Amino acid sequence: MLNELELTGRARTHVVQHDAPRFAAQPEAVAAFLALREAARRDGIDLVPYSSFRDFRTQLRIWNGKFSGSKPLYDEQGRPRDFSRLTPPEIVRHILNWSALPGASRHQWGTEIDVFDGAAVPVDYVPKLLPEEVAPGGVFFELHRWLDAHIGTYGFVRPYRRFNGGMFPEPWHLSYRPLSTLALQQVTVDLLARVIAEADILGKALVLEMLPEIHRDHILNVDVD
């Protein structure tokens, strides 16, 4: 059971840092990921963590950059949206299509790891984690065929496997189900309201007003099987 600071990314006492490959997660999730990585290695795949634990301040910086328009908002195909034509509620919803609300990100729990295949990366190519990379013919298409067959054996699921009206599909986002299921049960509207009320977050009043919708559509609305 995570405490409220750990659950909302304001502490990292629940995670450990692994150096080769570099990622941070809860110890049980670290062990499960390393076992998955070893299975992938035997099949010629270099399963590399792209992103893992992300603290509240990092998530807040992402949010404020997108809410202010200094960072782009993307549609489901990864194409930039026209920020100037969006209303404030649309900005909030479009941020949440790809990025979680600070305090509500699954990456705060130490259970989530975004991955790519280092063995499939061409020279001078920088992974972007966009839909085009996992589509047929994409650089990581074969990786995701392998993950389809193997992640369940090691306790992982894809919470954003398909679009359910909240987050756009992120097949590269793996979640260690035994721990993330418990964390999800702890996230409430009241907890998030307290965290957001204390934060230096752009659009605070609107976010607080929209919290029930955000909780329903962007936090609870995930694939866990």
Q: Quick check: 183 and 111 in contact, CB under 8 A? A: yes
Q: Quick check: 150 and 77 in contact, CB under 8 A? A: no
Q: How far apart are CA 213 and CA 225, in angstroms?
A: 23
**Strand 47-51 to 112-117 pairing:** antiparallel
Kindly state whether residue 224 falls inside one of the protein's structural domains.
Answer: no
Q: Which helix (H) or strand (E) holds 199?
A: none
Residues of the domain holding 21: 4-219
Provide the domain count of the chain: 1
Structure tokens at 9: 């990314």
* Residue 145 pLDDT level (bands cut at 50, 70, 90): very high
Q: How far apart are CA 180 and CA 214, in angstroms?
A: 18
Kindly state whether residue 54 falls inside one of the protein's structural domains.
Answer: yes
Query: pTM of this prediction?
Result: 0.95
Phi/psi for 167 (5° steps) reads: -75, 140
Kindly state whether residue 111 falls inside one of the protein's structural domains.
Answer: yes
Q: How far apart are CA 212 and CA 189, in angstroms?
A: 6
Amino acid (1-letter code) at residue 176: Y
Instruction: Give 13-66 pLDDT, tens digit per residue.
Output: 999 999 999 999 999 999 999 999 999 999 999 999 999 999 999 999 999 999
Kindly state whether residue 58 falls inside one of the protein's structural domains.
Answer: yes
CATH value at residue 119: 3.30.1380.10
Amino acid (1-letter code) at residue 163: F
Tell me the average pLDDT across 119-137. 94
Q: How far apart are CA 47 and CA 51, in angstroms?
A: 12
Q: What is the mean pLDDT of the chain?
A: 96
Kindly state whether residue 104 falls inside one of the protein's structural domains.
Answer: yes
Kindly state whether residue 150 falls inside one of the protein's structural domains.
Answer: yes
Kindly state whether residue 43 falls inside one of the protein's structural domains.
Answer: yes
What per-residue confidence (pLDDT) applies to 77?
Answer: 86
Instruction: Give 183-222 pLDDT, tens digit per residue.
Output: 999 999 999 999 999 999 999 999 999 999 999 999 999 9
Kindly state whether residue 225 falls inside one of the protein's structural domains.
Answer: no
| Residue 187 Cα distances to 64, 136, 192, angstroms | 22, 36, 7
Tell me the average pLDDT across 153-173. 94
List of E strands, the chain: 16-19, 22-25, 47-51, 112-117, 156-157, 173-176
Q: Quick check: 81 and 142 in contact, CB under 8 A? A: no
Note if the bond before 21 is cis, omega within 30 degrees: yes
